[in-house]
Amino acid sequence: MKIKQVFHVFLFRSIYAFTYAISLLPIKLLYAMSSFTFIIVYYVAGYRKEVVIQNIARSFPDKRYGEIQAISKKFYSCFTAYFAEIIKAVSAPAEIIDQKIAFENLGLIDQYINSGKNVIACMGHCANWEMLNFMAYKTQHEIYAVYKPLRSETIDRLMIRIRSRFGMKLIKDKSVVRHIISMKKSPSVYLFLTDQCPRINEEKYKFTLLNQETYIFSGMEKLARISKSAVIYLHIRQKSKGYYQIICMPVCPHAESVNEGEITKKYINLLAENIKEEPYGWLWTHKRWKR
C-alpha cells in the first residue's frame, strides 16, 4: 500500500473514531453544541447570510423584511441542529431512530417494485434530508442513493460510512445509468436530490420555482424514461425538533408514457409545496439561482 493510501486510511479511521466518540454524547448536549455553533455561524461569521436573505426575499416577494429575517434565523438554527442529529445517528440504535422518523405510504414503493418497476424517488434539500438514510431499514427493497463524490477522499469515505450504516447503498452519479440498465431483473429504489443548480442549462428543463425561472437537472427524468421506471416524491417535514415525517407521493407510474418535462414539472410543484409548508427547512445557503 502506498504512503498516500496509508495516510488516507489513517486519517479516515481517526476522524470516524472521533465522530463516533462524539456521537455517544447525550443528544441534549449535542443540541447545546449546535446552539453554540448557530451563534457563531449566524451572529459572528454570518455565513452566506446575504445569499440566504436574497434567496428567501426573491422566493417570497409578499413577505415583509421582518418575516424574511425570522425565516432566515430559524433556518440557521435548524440547520446547525441537523448536524447534531446526523452525528448522533452514527451510534444511535436503530430502534431509537425509528421512533423519530415516521414513514408514510411506503406501500406505494412495494406496489411499483412488485410490478417489476424500478422506483426513482426524487426530493429536495428539505428538513434533515440525511434522515432518509434510515429508509433502507424500513423496507425490504434495495435502495441506492445517487451522489456526487466529494473532492476530499477522506471526507467522502466518511460520508459513505455514515450514510450506509442502515443498509443504504451509495452509487456515483456517473455510474447510475449503467447500473440501473444492467439490473433490469432486480427492481430497486434510486434516490435523487434534484434541486441543485445544474452545470448545463437545458431550455426544456427550465421551470418557475418560487417565483423564479429555474433550471433543473434533467438526468432524473431522462433516466426514469429510459428505464421505464415509476417516479415518486419524498415529502420531508419536521414534526418537532428531532422528529420527522417522510411521505411517499406518486409522481408518475409509467415514466416512459408521458411527455418530456412533465415529470420534472410535477416534481417542481411538489418541491415548492414542501418548501412553502416549512420555509425555514430548505437549504437556502445554496446559490440555487447563480446562473
Residue 213 CB partners (closer than 8 Å, separation 6+): 206, 207
Rounded to 5 degrees, φ, ψ at 154 are -65, -50
Which pLDDT belongs to residue 1?
59
Which pLDDT belongs to residue 135?
96
Which pLDDT belongs to residue 287?
87
Q: What is the 3-state secondary structure (H, E, C) of the chain?
A: CCHHHHHHHHHHHHHHHHHHHHHCCCHHHHHHHHHHHHHHHHHHHCCCHHHHHHHHHHHCCCCCHHHHHHHHHHHHHHHHHHHHHHHHCCCCCHHHHHHHEEEECCHHHHHHHHCCCCEEEEECCECCHHHHHHHHHHCCCCEEEEECCCCCHHHHHHHHHHHCCCCCEEEECCCHHHHHHHCCCCCCEEEEECCCCCCCCCHHHEEEECCEEEECCCHHHHHHHHCCCEEEEEEEEEEECCEEEEEEEEEECCHHHCCCCHHHHHHHHHHHHHHHHCHHHECCCCCCCCC
Which pLDDT belongs to residue 291?
66
Which pLDDT belongs to residue 196?
86
Cell of 207: 421551470
Judge whether 169 and 144 are in contact, CB under 8 Å: yes
**Kind of pairing, strands 212-215 and 206-209?**
antiparallel
Cell of 265: 414539472
pLDDT, tens digit, 9 for 90 and up, residues 191-249 = 999 998 888 888 889 999 999 999 998 999 999 999 999 999 999 999 999 999 999 99
Rounded to 5 degrees, φ, ψ at 278 are -140, 80
Low-confidence ranges of the chain (pLDDT < 50): none
